[in-house]
Chains A and B, each alone.
Chain A
Amino acid sequence: MLKRIVSGRIVSGIQSIGHRVIESTWRLGYASRFFILVLLKSGTSLRRFNLVVRELYFTGVLSLIIIVVSGLFVGMVLGLQGYETLQKYGSESAVGTLVALSLVRELGPVVAALLFASRAGSAITAEIGLMKATEQLAAMGMMAVDPVARVVAPRFWAGVISMPFLAAIFSVMGVFGGYLVTVIFIGVDEGSYWSQMQSAVDFRFDILNGFIKSCFFGVAVTAIAVFEGYDAPPTAEGVSGATTRTVVTSSLVILGLDFILTAFMFRGVS
């Protein structure tokens, strides 16, 4: 009797795992098809670029504050911690290098993308989801205007364009924050802060790779955000659930992608 219950539980457990796997694979396929659809219907956005510019304001410009402030603080913390450790070995002049490399290679793209996902990604999902729930997308279709081309694609491209800029601004602010803490407050030599940084940071391996990362993150976050919004059940709970999923999924995807990209980029270097 007990044995049968236990084995029944195991079977239904396996079933539910299988069910979830099938479900998420199906959803992934559906999302990929949607992504391709968005790309195919991007003609309108490119022809009428002011549609994208308008969204650039909402996704990019409105994310600036959080990016600038966070970048500054992350840089200041890096400067403090880096100085703490480096001075033990008498190499506190290398603190500029440490700050710049951590930011440009990793923290800039990754943290900026995480912030971008929670600031702009969630807003995109909520906006598109609400437009769907209030039949605005259906009404648009009835007016012979394709909502994917008119609503989704401009938001997607605005996100893709904003992300590298935001990551770059984050890194610049971080380097400045590090400078503030180590040079201005602690008194590390200004010349060595900048010159060590200049000689250690490589354009190809550090800056370009960081840029490439942020482009990948921009595509990933915005694609997830527009998909979740477009796919949200047209109810209040549906939209709020989709907004949460956007933040959770894109954060995980950012971190996973970062590992994969880093492994490829810095393979056999240094």
Chain B
Amino acid sequence: MSMTPETLVEVHDLNFSYDRRPILKGVHMTMQRGQVVAIMGGSGSGKTTLLRLISGAIKPTSGYVRFAGEVVHELNRDALFKLRRKMGMLFQFGALFTDLSVFDNVAFQMREHTNLPESMIRDLVLMKLHAVGLRGAHHLMPNALSGGMARRVALARSIALDPMLIMYDEPFTGLDPISLSVIGNLIRRLSDALGMTSIVVTHDVQESLKIVDYVYFIADGVIAAQGTPQEVRQSVAPFVHQFVHGEEDGPVPFHYPAQSYSRDLDLEDSIA
């Protein structure tokens, strides 16, 4: 894994355990600037944990994550906070600030980290909200939003300061087919237009294969398979085949929780 100037995130031999229970066992990944990378894997396979490691919320047992040239877990608190201004994270359930309006949620980081005049903040916030189709909802409080709308506001909030990297934790769950492809296309556009790197943790195989550049499959704490969407679709590796086509029988054992999830996805696809 060499560090080319294009590489934004490098995950090197990453190991992590919760209470001595290994979750990740020697994970290697590289993500280039402007790339959209999907991370797939069964429920509980450690995808959210991986995002937390990249953002420095938890420290690896061994190995490292290098982001924009810096080893994340070696930074002190101030340096880590400085680094995090270059990262955005979309939480699984949005995590909007319930005591702030939609507008103030999106404006939050601008007000905390910049000295921009209020008039400029207003323009920027409305632009971000426009991108997710919710400019008209700027005055609402989060409790007046549906789950899908909240996710879109959270997305607008996480791109407020145009970060270099955005991590999406299951951005597609609970969205209707229209919002789903809107969000999918938006993720793609952010990468193409602004050069943001995106990491998309998802179970939605079909939707994400449409928008991503590269896919990693995690199983049992290791990268079980990886490749471009093209390679993934054509892969004859039993694991990938099973995952992509949501088959019940395959290398992933039946009692593994992923199984029922994949079947759920299959169901969703036929509706979409």
Question: Which residues of chain A have a CB within 8 Å of any CB of chain B?
Answer: 127, 130-131, 134-136, 138-146, 150
Contacts and interface: CB of A to CB of B under 8 A. Distances in A.
Interface of B: 55, 57, 81-82, 84-85, 87-89, 91-93, 95-99, 108-109, 112-113
A107 B137 CA distance: 49
Contacts of B98: 130-131, 134, 136
B57 A138 contact: yes
Nearest to A135: B95
B84 A142 contact: yes
B199 to A, nearest CB: 13
Given A131-B98, A134-B98, A144 B93 contact: no
A144 B113 contact: yes
The 5 A-B residue pairs whose C-beta atoms are closest, nearest first, are A139-B95, A135-B95, A144-B84, A144-B81, A142-B89
A135 B112 CA distance: 19
A155 to B, nearest CB: 11
Given A142-B89, A144-B112, A150-B112, 6 more contacts: A127-B99, A135-B92, A142-B87, A143-B112, A144-B82, A145-B112
Contacts of A145: 108-109, 112-113
A142 B86 CA distance: 10
Contacts of B93: 134-135
B147 to A, nearest CB: 12
A144 B91 contact: no
Nearest to B89: A142
Nearest to A137: B95
25 contacts: A127-B99, A131-B97, A134-B98, A135-B95, A136-B96, A136-B98, A138-B91, A139-B89, A139-B95, A141-B84, A142-B57, A142-B84, A142-B87, A142-B89, A143-B85, A143-B108, A143-B109, A143-B112, A144-B82, A144-B84, A144-B85, A144-B109, A144-B113, A145-B108, A145-B112
A201 B113 CA distance: 52
Contacts of B97: 131, 136, 139-140
A135 B91 contact: yes
A156 B56 CA distance: 28
Interface centre among A138, A140, A142 (most CB of B within 10 A): A142
Contacts of A140: 97
Contacts of A139: 89, 91, 95, 97
A15 B91 CA distance: 42
B95 A136 contact: yes
Nearest to A141: B57
B175 to A, nearest CB: 18
B105 to A, nearest CB: 10
A142 B94 CA distance: 13
A141 to B, nearest CB: 7
Contacts of B87: 142
Nearest to A145: B112
Contacts of B91: 135, 138-139
A134 B81 contact: no
A130 B96 CA distance: 12
B83 to A, nearest CB: 8
A138 B96 CA distance: 11
A135 B55 CA distance: 15
Nearest to B84: A144
Contacts of B99: 127
A142 B166 CA distance: 11
B95 A143 contact: no
A146 B81 CA distance: 9
Contacts of B55: 142
A140 B84 CA distance: 11
A143 B159 CA distance: 11
Contacts of A146: 81
A130 B84 CA distance: 24
B59 to A, nearest CB: 14
Contact of B84 (A127, A135, A143, A150): A143
A141 B55 CA distance: 10
Contacts of B82: 144
